[in-house]
């Protein structure tokens, strides 16, 4: 789960990270008010879940009240397309108005999960302001990496060593130690998967201040972090994925036209591979999980059908905890309730498979059945409306 820059800054400030004075605005009038309260000049930033806002025109330095109002009026309500947002862009519905900072140097600072070492890794660079992918490609020697031992946490001497490696000296070292330890505590205590400050600026007076911040969190841990879960902004997410999340379904939207309803992540991945081998592209990843009721299957159908590109639905169930008769009843119920107008291919295996197949065969709905995964994928590809023309 991602959150906005201003939310990440608020969290990090509570842990002790220095941030500039700022305020939130939802209209040009609010933006102008915040600018007057902070004091001009200010920097206005579009709040979207995407990097590359500056290059896309989502960040502006404003010296006057009129500049603030004009920029806010121009960008609010727009779809801001960045190099990370995809062609559809992200909607701009809120702005962060922030005091301008005298920047002498920019530093990149990131905390991520290193799956190889199974530890938190700190990645830093003296060439901040760039995306980490660009840093790794254009200036790999500037990257400093450090693995944190979870038994001891981030120690002062480790933080000082990192500050030295970034070329810091004098009072900056103590500030950097405090910033690093604050970021580490925020990551650890809130079940984060990423904490990034880019840039962490050294001001003209030699102080450190976080000018931008990103945080991502483990969605599976949000049941114990309600204060973080409340920060979720569904307007920044794929509406299909947002709808699925509300129904507790594991869903990821893709670009194909064959909708998938499957139980088990491994089987879902295998099914998508088989669809590609059969000559088509999956429209989504959807895992309905174990113990799915008929009502849950209906919800899965409704979720998949929110994608207008879906021309066929493939249901592939290997029942263990699940039961094939539950799934079959759900498929029939969904066909009738949703008013299905596209082909549906169903492959069942496992617990109560004979009863499940009987329900499908005796139902008064034109469902295509298959015995194996390969047969199901081929049937789904052939059932597409454009298959005959191809």
Q: Which residues are identified as catalytic?
A: 108, 196
d(CA 126, CA 47): 26
Q: Who contacts 102 (Cβ-Cβ below 8 Å, separation ≥6)? A: 203, 204, 205
Query: Which secondary structure element, helix H or strand E, spans residue 120, and what is its range?
Result: strand 119-125
Q: Can you say which residues are annotated as belonging to the binding site?
A: 45, 52-54, 98, 101, 106, 198, 212, 263
Q: How far apart are CA 152 and CA 91, in angstroms?
A: 42
Q: How far apart are CA 66 and CA 32, in angstroms?
A: 8
Q: In whole angstroms, what is the distance from residue 312 CA to residue 244 CA?
A: 19
Q: Are 46 and 59 in contact (CB under 8 A)?
A: yes
The backbone torsions φ and ψ at residue 224, rounded to the nearest 5 degrees and listed phi first, read: -105, 5
Q: Which residues are annotated as a binding site for substrate?
A: 263
Q: Is 99 exposed, middle or buried (0-12, 13-18, 19+ CB in 10 A)?
A: middle
Extract the runs of DSSP E, i.e. beta strands, from 204-262. 208-210, 213-217, 250-253, 258-262
Cis-peptide, bond into residue 343, ω within 30° of zero: no
Q: Residue ranges for the binding site for Mg(2+)?
A: 198, 212
Extract the annotated binding site for ATP: 45, 52-54, 98, 101, 106
């Amino acid at each position: 789960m991602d959150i906005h820059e201003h939310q990440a800054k608020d969290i990090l400030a509570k842990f002790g990270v220095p941030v500039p004075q700022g305020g939130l605005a939802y209209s040009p009038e609010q933006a102008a008010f915040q600018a007057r309260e902070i004091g001009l000049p200010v920097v206005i930033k579009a709040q979207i879940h995407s990097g590359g806002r500056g290059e896309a025109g989502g960040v502006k330095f404003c010296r006057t009240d009129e500049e603030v109002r004009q920029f806010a009026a121009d960008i609010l309500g727009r779809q801001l397309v960045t190099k990370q947002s995809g062609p559809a862009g992200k909607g701009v519905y809120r702005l962060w108005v922030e005091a301008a900072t005298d920047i002498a140097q920019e530093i990149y600072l990131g905390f991520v999960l290193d799956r190889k070492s199974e530890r938190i890794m700190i990645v830093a660079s003296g060439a901040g302001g760039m995306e980490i992918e660009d840093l790794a490609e254009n200036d790999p020697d500037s990257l400093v990496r450090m693995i944190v031992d979870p038994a001891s946490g981030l120690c002062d001497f480790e933080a000082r060593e990192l500050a030295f490696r970034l070329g810091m000296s004098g009072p900056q070292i103590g500030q950097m130690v405090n910033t690093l330890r604050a970021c580490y505590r925020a990551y650890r205590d809130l079940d984060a998967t990423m904490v990034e400050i880019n840039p962490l600026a050294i001001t003209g007076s030699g102080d450190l201040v976080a000018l931008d911040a990103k945080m991502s969190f483990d969605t599976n841990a949000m049941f114990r972090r309600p204060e973080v879960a409340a920060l979720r902004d569904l307007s920044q997410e794929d509406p299909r994925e947002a709808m699925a999340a509300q129904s507790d379904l594991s869903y990821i939207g893709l670009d194909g036209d064959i909708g998938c309803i499957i139980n088990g992540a491994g089987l879902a991945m295998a099914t998508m591979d088989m669809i590609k081998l059969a000559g088509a592209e999956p429209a989504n990843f959807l895992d309905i999980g174990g113990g799915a009721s008929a009502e849950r299957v209906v919800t899965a159908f409704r979720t998949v059908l929110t994608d207008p590109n879906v021309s066929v639905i493939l249901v592939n169930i290997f029942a263990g905890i699940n039961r094939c008769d539950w799934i079959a009843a759900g498929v029939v119920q969904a066909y009738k309730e949703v008013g299905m107008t596209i082909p549906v291919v169903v492959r069942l295996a496992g617990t109560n498979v004979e009863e499940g197949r009987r329900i499908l065969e005796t139902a008064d709905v034109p469902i295509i059945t298959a015995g194996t995964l390969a047969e199901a994928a081929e049937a789904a590809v052939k059932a597409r409306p454009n298959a005959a023309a191809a």
